[in-house]
Structure 1
Amino acid sequence: MALLEIRNLSVDFATASGQFRAVDGVDVTVDQRDLLAIVGESGSGKSVSMLALMGLLPWTATVTADKLQFDGQDLRTLSGRARRKIIGRDISMIFQEPMSSLNPSFTIGWQIRESLRKHTDMNRRQRQDRAVELMQQVGIPAPEKRLQAYPHQLSGGMSQRAMIAMALANKPKLLIADEPTTALDVTIQAQILELLTGLQEEIGMALVLITHDMGVVAETVERVQVQYAGQRVELQEVRGLFDDPHHPYTAALLAALPERATERRLPTIPGVVPGQFDRPQGCLFSPRCRFADERCRTIRPPDAGAAMGHALCHYPLVNGQPTGKETAA
């Protein structure tokens, strides 16, 4: 049985001009000890999907799903009290901006100990010892001193490590890392990623990495889920995805990597992700896709199946070329 199963997840936000669909029928499956990346450019619904799972979206959001199950429990039917026992203990999240996610009014130590107080029966001495152990585990020197510091007294890298320590405090079964290296320099990025994958292997938890950096994906995970405009458009093992992407959007993302460029001018994807008022009737990627035809623009594409990486496309690519286009014409 999978650790996490999400089926047909949709998230709508109420706006002054109507409803905006940020997540549109997304499926996510995470197994025990899994390493999954969710990738896509800004506006693809990566973070919103996971915040919906965590129950951290604002009141303006409406979340629906055919299945939202974690470790055999249906999260849709749990009371708020029961759900809070899971979130922060069995499911934990590293947020995108540590400086805005850590509470500036409390010390790092207080924030870590508070998580332990909420989810364990440790006494005060045990919580302090555990906090020191966590700070050592994530590579923070002089942990007793750092626990007394406030967030603004730490560097970006230290703040990110402190947030990882907090997320790992209760030995979660699933850790969601939302762009954990965005605000860090390249050297610190490598250290944080190595730390996360090392801890994942040591603790035996599943890791979901939300990112737009395909280089990070290639070095870190086992499976990749590509999202575009709130939809899952491809799901493959990392090697298969890089060797033979089946959705035109995935192929375009990979073609834009500098190390893959074959010309002096770096390829780009024209246009922007559709918003509230310009969502196409058919395939959401059709206005930006060089293979799109009238069928793509008017009819929503089906899931092409596991053999084609679950590409959400009428003409999934094989070796960079669309399949079935002549037959359809």
Structure 2
Amino acid sequence: MALLEIRNLSVDFATSSGQFRAVDSVDVTVDKGDILAIVGESGSGKSVSMLAMMGLLPWTATVTADAMLFDGQDLRALSPRQRRRIIGKDMAMIFQEPISSLNPCFTVGFQIKEALRIHLGLDSRARHRRAVELFEMVGIPAPEERLKAYPHQLSGGMNQRVMIAMAIACNPKLLIADEPTTALDVTIQAQILDLLTGLQRDTGMALILITHDMGVVAETARRVQVQYAGQKVEEQPVIDLFERPHHPYTAALLAALPERATSKHLPTIPGVVPGQFDRPQGCLFSPRCQFADERCRTVAPLPQGPQAGLARCHYPLNLSAEAEA
């Protein structure tokens, strides 16, 4: 049984001009010890789908799903109190902006110890020992002193490590890392990724990595799920995806990598992700796709089979002769 199974997840936000669908019929499956990367441009619904699963969206959001199971429990049937026993303990998230996710009014030590008190019921002395141990695990020097620091007294990289320490404090079964290397320099990015993959390897937890950086995906993930305009458009093992992308959007993302450039000008994807008022009738990627025809522009495609990477496309790329037959 999968650790996390989400089927047909949709998220609608109420706006002054009507409903806006931010996530559209997305499936997510994660096994124990798995590393799944969810990639796509800003506005593709990556973070919203995970926040919906954790119950952290505002009241303006309407969340529907055919199934939302975590470790055998139906998340849709849980009360807020029951959900709080899971979130932060068995399921944790590293948020995109650590400086805005940490409370500026309390020391980082107080905040990490509060999680230990609520979820594990440790006494004061045990909480302090565990906090020091966690800071050492994530590579924070002089942990005894750092516990007394406020978020504004730490660098961006240090605050990111604090967020990771808080997320793994209760040994979660699933860790969601939302753009964990955003706004960090290249050296710190590598350290954070090594830290996350090392923790995943040592503890056996599952890891969902939300990112738009395909280089990070290549180094870290085992499976890749590509999202576009709220829809899942492809899913493959990482090596297969880089060698044989089936959806034109995935192929365009990979072609834009500097190391794959064949000329002095980097390829780009024209246009922007469609919003609330400019969503195409057919394939959502059709206005930006070089292969689109009239069928693409008028008929919404359904996901293909596993041999085509579940690509949501009428004309999947790089199919083998057996798959085309």
Q: Report if TM-score (shorter chain) is over 0.5.
A: yes
Match of 2:301, SS?
Answer: coil
Aligned to 2:100: 100
Aligned to 1:182: 182
**CA–CA distance in 2 between the matches of 1:319 and 1:138?**
43
Letter in 1 for 2:6: I
Letter in 2 for 1:273: V
**CA–CA distance in 2 between the matches of 1:215 and 1:80?**
38
Q: C-alpha deviations, 1:35-80, integer Å up to 9, x for none? A: 0000000000000000101111111110000000000000000111
5 Å-filtered alignment, 1:1-329, equals: 1-318=1-318
**CA–CA distance in 1 between the matches of 2:305 and 2:271?**
28
Match of 2:8, SS?
Answer: strand
**CA–CA distance in 1 between the matches of 2:53 and 2:116?**
21
**CA–CA distance in 2 between the matches of 1:263 and 1:251?**
17
Match of 2:209, SS?
Answer: strand
The structural deviation recorded for 1:199 is: 0.3
Provide the TM-score with structure 2 as the length reference: 0.98
- Long gaps (5+) in structure 2: none
Match of 2:115, SS?
Answer: helix
**CA–CA distance in 2 between the matches of 1:138 and 1:153?**
18
Match of 1:227, SS?
Answer: strand
**CA–CA distance in 2 between the matches of 1:18 and 1:303?**
28
The structural deviation recorded for 1:101 is: 0.5
Letter in 2 for 1:165: A
The structural deviation recorded for 1:263 is: 1.4
Contact 2:282 2:301 in 1 (8 A): yes
The structural deviation recorded for 1:121 is: 2.1
Identity fraction in percent? 77
**CA–CA distance in 2 between the matches of 1:73 and 1:4?**
9
The structural deviation recorded for 1:83 is: 0.6
**CA–CA distance in 2 between the matches of 1:43 and 1:10?**
14
**CA–CA distance in 2 between the matches of 1:91 and 1:319?**
37
The structural deviation recorded for 1:269 is: 0.4
**CA–CA distance in 1 between the matches of 2:121 and 2:187?**
38
Number of equivalent positions = 323
**CA–CA distance in 2 between the matches of 1:7 and 1:242?**
25
**CA–CA distance in 1 between the matches of 2:284 and 2:240?**
24
The structural deviation recorded for 1:91 is: 0.3
Contact 2:175 2:205 in 1 (8 A): yes
**CA–CA distance in 2 between the matches of 1:265 and 1:149?**
46
The structural deviation recorded for 1:319 is: 6.6
**CA–CA distance in 2 between the matches of 1:304 and 1:317?**
11
**CA–CA distance in 1 between the matches of 2:112 and 2:45?**
29
**CA–CA distance in 2 between the matches of 1:41 and 1:183?**
16
**CA–CA distance in 1 between the matches of 2:88 and 2:138?**
18
Root-mean-square deviation over aligned CA pairs: 1.2
- Long gaps (5+) in structure 1: none
Provide the TM-score with structure 1 as the length reference: 0.97
The structural deviation recorded for 1:248 is: 0.2
Contact 2:308 2:319 in 1 (8 A): no
Letter in 1 for 2:147: L
**CA–CA distance in 2 between the matches of 1:56 and 1:165?**
20
**CA–CA distance in 1 between the matches of 2:86 and 2:293?**
46
The structural deviation recorded for 1:262 is: 0.8
**CA–CA distance in 2 between the matches of 1:109 and 1:121?**
16
